[in-house]
């Protein structure tokens, strides 16, 4: 990766992480609405970047690095999942949804088990 590209991704990532933290601080702790809000907003932004680039082709590589790879990826991990899923055929999309959620829940359960075991 080029140094300039890495710095662009880092700048966007910093802004995304700080923004996500801002949402978390602004909303009540333990409430899932903040995560839902950033995931939906992130999916919207990433979808706009992807489809604007595909349809119009006017978004610079630098802008895409800062916004999608940097900002959106640290603001929301769901956005990438959603954008990739809608680009698949229906059967593959369904499998992708099931696999992502099932493996995500299993990973949480496994982590919880490891933490309990080590405590």
pLDDT tens by residue, 58-70: 778 898 899 989 9
Any idea which residue has 């604007």 for tokens? 52
Q: Is the pTM of this model over 0.95?
A: no
Asked which of 30-34, 49-53, 110-114 is least confident by mean pLDDT, the reply is: 30-34
Any idea which residue has 């996500």 for tokens? 20
Question: From CA 36, how far away is CA 50, in angstroms rounded?
Answer: 21
Domain locations in the chain?
Answer: 3-87, 89-119
**Whether 35 contacts 76, CB under 8 Å:** no
H-run or E-run covering 51: helix 33-55
Asked which of 1-5, 37-41, 63-67 is least confident by mean pLDDT, the reply is: 37-41
**Whether 5 contacts 16, CB under 8 Å:** no
pLDDT > 70: percent of the chain: 91
Measured in degrees and rounded to the nearest 5, phi and psi for residue 60 equal: -70, 155
């Amino acid at each position: 990766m080029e140094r300039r590209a890495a710095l662009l991704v880092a700048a966007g990532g910093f802004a995304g992480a700080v923004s996500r933290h801002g949402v978390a601080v602004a909303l009540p702790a333990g409430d899932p609405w903040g995560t839902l809000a950033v995931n939906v907003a992130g999916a919207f932004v990433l979808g706009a970047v992807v489809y604007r680039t595909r349809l119009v082709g006017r978004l610079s590589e630098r802008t895409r690095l800062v916004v999608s790879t940097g900002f959106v990826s640290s603001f929301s991990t769901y956005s990438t999942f959603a954008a990739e899923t809608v680009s698949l055929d229906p059967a593959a999309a369904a499998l992708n949804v099931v696999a992502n959620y099932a493996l995500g829940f299993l990973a949480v359960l496994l982590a919880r088990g490891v933490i309990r075991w080590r405590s």
